[in-house]
A = this chain, B = another copy of it.
Amino acid sequence: MTAPVTIYVCTTCRRAEDPAEAPRAGARLHAAVAEAANDATDVAVVGVECLSVCKRPVTIGFTAAGKWTYVYGDFVPETAAEGILAAARQYAVAPEGLIPWRERPDSLKKGVVARIPPIKPV
């Protein structure tokens, strides 16, 4: 089964306020987004070991066939999960994944790290 949209969450991301012993912010956000998505079949939540952004924890990504892949940073695990899921669903219905600017939540406007063009079919 392949969900239409994949949400990547960097499980290695650590935030400055993370206690040394606790699970890292990235791992906590991954768990929170997975819980928010619950049994959804329209998104797959995938933990990734390092998205190489590091300076903007927690980092996430959206990808889907035929769409631009986006990387976003600066998410807080305690509060961001529902917003990420809602944004992933905006992305899912946006042609090529290009959510109109005025419809983007602030977290995507301010948090964008990079984007990659759609992979062309071979």
CA distance A71 to B69 in the complex (A): 12
> Does chain B have a CB within 8 A of A87?
no
Interface of A is mostly: strand
Q: Which of A87-119 contact B (CB under 8 A)?
A: 112-117, 119
The contact size tier of chain A is: 20 to 34
Q: Which of A14-32 contact B (CB under 8 A)?
A: none
Q: Nearest chain B CB to A56's CB is how many angstroms away?
A: 9
Give the oligomeric copy count: 2
* A26-59 vs B, Cβ < 8 Å mask (1 yes, 0 no): 0000000000000000000010101111000001
* A62-105 vs B, Cβ < 8 Å mask (1 yes, 0 no): 01010001110000000000000000000000000000000000
Q: Which residue of B lies closest to A122 (CB)?
A: B2
CA distance A112 to B71 in the complex (A): 13
18 example contacts (A-B, Cβ-Cβ < 8 A) are as follows: A2-B120, A2-B122, A8-B116, A8-B117, A51-B114, A51-B115, A51-B116, A52-B112, A52-B113, A53-B113, A59-B114, A61-B114, A61-B116, A69-B116, A113-B114, A114-B114, A116-B116, A119-B119
